[in-house]
Structure 1
C-alpha cells in the first residue's frame, strides 16, 4: 500500500494515500487525546470539546464550518474515543483545500464563549441521558467497564460522568484545548484523488505557520493484573435481563493478539458463530449474543461477551451458557473447517473495507495516532492467516479465565423500557 508519512517542521505528521478511482478526497485530523487523558472529576472534556469545535473561530462563525462543507458538496463530522478525537471532511477532490483550511483554522483559533459552552454542555448532558441513563444495557456496559479498570482511565466513560459534565467550565475546556490541540499532537490523514507533491505544498500553506508550544509530558497508565472475579448487578426498568462479561486482554500487536481476534470471530462470526448457533438458536437461552475484541486500543483493554436473555430463561442460565462457550475455546481445539471459516471472514471483512477511502483514512489515522504504522495494517491478514487451533486454545486459556473477568447482570424492575438490542459500540459523537 503506497502510504506516505511526512512531518512538518512544527511536528504535524501527514499521512497520504493517493486513490484516483473516484474524484473525491477525505481529510481527517486526529488528535492524540481522548477520555483517558482526563483527570478524575473532569471527565467528559474530550467529548465536550469535540462538540465545541463546531462553534466557530475568529474566521468562521458558529456552524459555518459544516455549512461551507455542505455547500461544497461534502460531508463532515467528528468522533471521540478513549485514545483520540478525530474530525473529518469528505469532499470533491477539487475542494480538498477547503478541508485543509477549515481544520488548520480551528486547530488554534477556536472561540469558546460562555453561551455556546453552556448550550453544548446541555446537549452533551441530554446525549448522556438518552444513550446511557435511559438505556439500561448501555448503563450496564458502563458500570462493567468502570469495575474492570481500577487504575487505568479506560474505566471512565468517553462521554463523561453526569456530575463531572455539570461541573465543567469554559476555563477547563480552554486549558484542555490549549494543552492537546497542537500540531505535534496531531495526525493529518488525506486519502483520495490528488498528487502527493502538490498536496504537501498545500498542507504546508495551511498548517505550516501554526506554532507548537512546549510539549507537555504525557501521562501513561498501567492497570494492575486482575486476580479475582468481579460482579456488577444493575436493576433498571428493562424489558428483559442482559448479561455482559469483560476479560482483560493484550492488544493485537501482542503475540496472542491474532489468536484472540480469531477467538472473538469464532464466538460471534454472524450466524455461523458459536454463540448464535448454540446459545441463540439451539438452546434458545438468548435473543441475541455477541463478542468483541478491543485489540486496536492503545493500551491493553477488554474482550467482551454478552447476551440478551430470552423471557423464559434466567440471567444465570445465560451467564453459564456464555461462560461455557468461552471455556470451550480454552480447552478444545477448534476444527480445521471452523477455524478456516473464521479466518476467511476476518480477511474478507478487512479486504472489502479497503474499497472505501473513508475507511482507509480512518484506519490509517487510528494506527498512526496510537503509535502504529501502515506496516501493522499490512501485517493484519498474514498474522490472522497464521493462527493455529493450538494458539487459540493457548490464548483463551491464558486470558479468558474467570479470575480475569468482570460480569455484569441487568435485572429488570417494574417500568417500561425499549426492547433490548445489541449494545452500541465505537466512538461517541
Structure 2
C-alpha cells in the first residue's frame, strides 16, 4: 500500500479539528450547567460539585477501554467509543432530570466523561503520522481546536433552555440535548472522514523494508504502566501533564466561589473564566512550535514557571473581582497549555509505536485522576484554609514539575 504520509497527516489533522469542534461544543454545553442541575436534583450546595467531579472521574476511567480499543482497532474505533458513551451519558442525564434522580444523574455524568476522554485522546491521534520535527505542532493544533467548542458551548445555555421547554423537559436539560447532537456530529465526522486510520496507517508505514510484521499492539493498562515507568522521558511527560492539570483544576474550580464571596457578578465571573480558557487553548499552536524548536523539557520548565507565577499571584488576591485575579487565571491557563503539549509530546516521542496507545491511555488516566483529586480537595482547602492556600499549593506543585523535568527530562547518553 502506497501512502503519502504528509498528505495523509494533513487530512487527519483537519478531520480531528472538525471532530474536536463538535465534541468540544458538546462537552462545554453540558459542563456549563452540570453544577446547576446537580444543585436542583440534590438540593444541596455541598453536593452540587459532585456532578462535575463524576464527569472528570468518568473521563479518567473511560480512558482505559478507549486506549485498549485504539491499540487493537485504531484511533477511529477508540475515539468513537468515547463519544458513544458520552451520548448515552447525556441521555441518562436528561432522564435523571425528568425523574428528579440525583444518583442517576451522577451515573450519566460518569458516562458523559467519555467525551472528555475522546477530546483528550484526539491529540495523540494527531501525532500518530506526524514527523518528529512537527509532532508538537500537529498535536497542539488538535488541542487548539477545543478553543472553539469551549467558547461556543457555554453560550448555548440560553438556546438550550428553549430546547428544553420545546421538548417539555426541565429547562436545564436542553443543554444536554444540544451536547448529544454535538457528540453525534463528532461521531459522524470520525466515521466518515478519519480514513485510513492514522494509527493503523502509521504502523503500516513504519514496517521495515523487508516487510517484517510489526510487534503486536497491546493496549492494556499494565502495558501502559510498564512502558511509562521504564523510560524516564515518558515518565517525565506523564508527570508534567498530570501535575500541570492538578494545578489548573485546583485553582480554576474554586475561582467562581472566591469571586462570589466578594460579591462579583456572574458576568464578571464568566469574564475571568473566559480569559482562563483563552489562555488554556488559544496559544497552544505557539507552544507546539516551541516544543518542536527547543524541545519538550525546555517548554515544560517555562510552563512550570508560568504556573508558579499564576499560583503566587492568585494567592495574593482578595475576594471578588480584580485585574490581578484575571491575570492569575490567564497565566494558569497558559501554563496548563504548556504542560499538556510539552508533556504529551515527550511521552509520545519516548514510546515505541506499538505501545503508544497503552502508554498514552495510562498518562491520561493519571492526568484525569490528578484533576479529580485536585477538584475534590480544593473545596475543603478553600473552606478551611482559604483561596490563598490553593494558590500557594499550586505554586508548590509547579516547582515539583520543574524538579521532575530537571531530574527526568535529560536526554540519556548513549551507552559505550
Q: TM-score, normalised by structure 2?
A: 0.28
Which of these two proteins has the greater Rg computed from alpha carbons?
Answer: 1
* More helix as a share of residues: 2
* More strand as a share of residues: 1
Q: TM-score, normalised by structure 1?
A: 0.28
